[in-house]
């Protein structure tokens, strides 16, 4: 670790849990604050399945954001329970919570999340996201007022994570509300996740963007081989689906869909890491993998 420009007793550091319902904008926010693609983002709810750390280090403070799966009413499958457990456990040990709600209004899921935050007794900054949907910003006033009545939030900040509106203010508030303490991670570390995990996530992102209806939620990605040579990074990945019929959909006619997904993932990886990737993908069927503890562990779900 490197030193800081201030005395160590003045330095601030801590864990910041980023919570909200599915598709609230948690991953978009964390990526924007870190300035790098740490979490994958799609328009589909429940894109994020794991708790992922994004580390923001500046001379005066270090904030370790924990992007979490969207809290939702589990449908009974182990994967849904694992996702909820990952989101809930992020509150344990957090020094601060960023709670994201949609500017278009609170939902029952938001109220459920707020109850968990109240029980945790952790200081919470409420972020009203997607204000770019509001043409008249005065329309936000009733929502800001009703939100302030729900809980003694440390601050309430209207933002657009996608457009970058008010994110500078969010960063300042986060640093201000972290406890004094030493730097937790080295300056050049942006996430706790390794290359294999991040490659698998980018591939899953492209799959989710290309596929529709229920197919994306029956997908899992396992990176089996990751060979880092001077010329390129070679990846061999298995895409797991839970039905035979889904395998044909993912592969596409003549294998064209899978080729297109692999190409999109490779180009994204090249941009993100500044390296050349070679990506080989296969599709296999593992029936009901999302409800199998063994399969979930194999695919990196630490909760099982």
Residue 264 pLDDT exceeds 80: yes
> What pLDDT shows up at residue 114?
95
* Res 95 pLDDT > 60: yes
88 and 20 together in one domain: yes
Looking at residue 301, what is its pLDDT? 58
Alpha-carbon separation of residue 117 from 156, 207, 216, 232, 303 (angstroms):
15, 33, 30, 45, 21
Same domain, 25 and 171: yes
Cβ 144 vs Cβ 156: under 8 Å: yes
Average pLDDT over residues 211-225: 77
Is the pLDDT at 91 greater than 80? The verdict is no
Residues 25 and 144 in one domain: yes
Q: Mark whether 118 and 22 lie in a shared domain.
A: yes
Percent pLDDT > 90 in the chain is 59
CA distance 12 to 59: 10
Tokens at 126, concatenated: 């409420």
Decide which of 176, 209, 239 is a domain's last residue: 176
- Residues 136-152, mean pLDDT to the nearest whole number: 92
SS3 102: strand
In this structure, the answer to whether residues 107 and 160 fall within a common structural domain is yes
172 and 216 part of one domain: no
Task: Give the pLDDT confidence score for residue 242 in this predicted structure.
Answer: 83
pTM higher than the cut 0.75: yes
Residue 292: predicted pLDDT? 61
The residue from 176, 205, 233 where one domain ends is 176
Decide if 59 contacts 52 (C-beta within 8 A): no
Beta strand 124-129 with 277-285 is: unpaired
Main-chain phi, psi angles of 91, to 5 degrees:
-75, -25
> Any idea what DSSP says for residue 155?
E
pLDDT at 214 over 80: no
How far is Cα 47 from Cα 202, in angstroms, rounded to an integer? 11
- Do 167 and 247 lie in one domain? The reply is no
- Is 121 inside a domain boundary? yes
Same domain, 22 and 118: yes
pLDDT higher than threshold 60 for residue 9: no
From residue 41, alpha-carbon distances to 83, 111, 291 in Å are 16, 24, 24
Asked whether residue 302 carries a pLDDT value surpassing 90, the answer given is: no
Which residues, at least 6 apart from 70, have a Cβ–Cβ distance to it below 8 Å?
Answer: 20, 21, 22, 23, 24, 26, 45, 46, 48, 83, 87
pLDDT in tens, 147-200: 999 999 999 999 999 999 999 999 999 999 999 999 999 999 999 989 999 999
What's the pLDDT at 232? 95
Whether 186 is covered by a domain: the verdict is: no
Q: What is the pLDDT of residues 24-51, one digit of tens each?
A: 999 999 999 999 999 878 776 666 667 7
CATH (domain of 86): 3.40.50.300
Domain count, the chain: 2
Query: What is the rounded average pLDDT for all residues in the chain?
Result: 86
The residue range of the domain holding 101 is 12-176
Same domain, 18 and 122: yes
């Amino acid at each position: 670790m490197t030193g800081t420009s201030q005395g160590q007793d003045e330095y601030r550091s801590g864990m910041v849990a980023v919570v909200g319902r599915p598709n609230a904008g948690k991953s978009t926010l964390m990526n924007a604050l870190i300035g790098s693609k740490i979490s994958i983002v799609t328009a589909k709810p429940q894109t994020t399945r794991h708790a992922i750390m994004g580390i923001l280090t500046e001379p005066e403070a270090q904030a370790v954001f924990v992007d979490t799966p969207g809290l939702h009413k589990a449908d009974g499958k182990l994967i849904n329970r694992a996702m909820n457990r990952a989101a809930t456990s992020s509150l344990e040990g957090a020094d601060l919570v960023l709670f994201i709600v949609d500017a278009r209004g609170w939902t029952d899921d938001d109220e459920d999340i707020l109850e968990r935050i109240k029980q945790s007794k952790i200081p919470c900054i409420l972020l009203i996201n997607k204000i770019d949907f509001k043409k008249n910003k005065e329309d936000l006033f009733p929502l800001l007022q009703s939100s302030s009545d729900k809980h003694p939030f440390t601050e309430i900040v209207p933002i657009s994570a996608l457009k970058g509106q008010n994110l500078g203010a969010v960063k300042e508030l986060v640093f201000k509300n972290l406890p004094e303490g030493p730097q937790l991670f080295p300056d050049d570390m942006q996430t706790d996740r390794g290359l294999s995990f991040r490659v698998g996530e980018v591939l899953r992102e492209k799959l989710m963007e290309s596929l529709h209806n229920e197919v994306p939620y029956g997908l899992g990605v396992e990176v089996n081989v990751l060979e880092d040579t001077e010329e390129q990074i070679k990846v061999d990945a298995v895409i797991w689906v839970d039905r035979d019929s889904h395998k044909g959909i993912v592969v596409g006619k003549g294998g064209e869909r899978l080729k297109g997904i692999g190409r999109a993932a490779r180009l994204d990886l090249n941009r993100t890491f500044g390296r050349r990737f070679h990506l080989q993908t296969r599709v296999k069927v593992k029936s009901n993998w999302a409800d199998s503890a063994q399969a979930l562990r194999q695919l990196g779900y630490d909760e099982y």
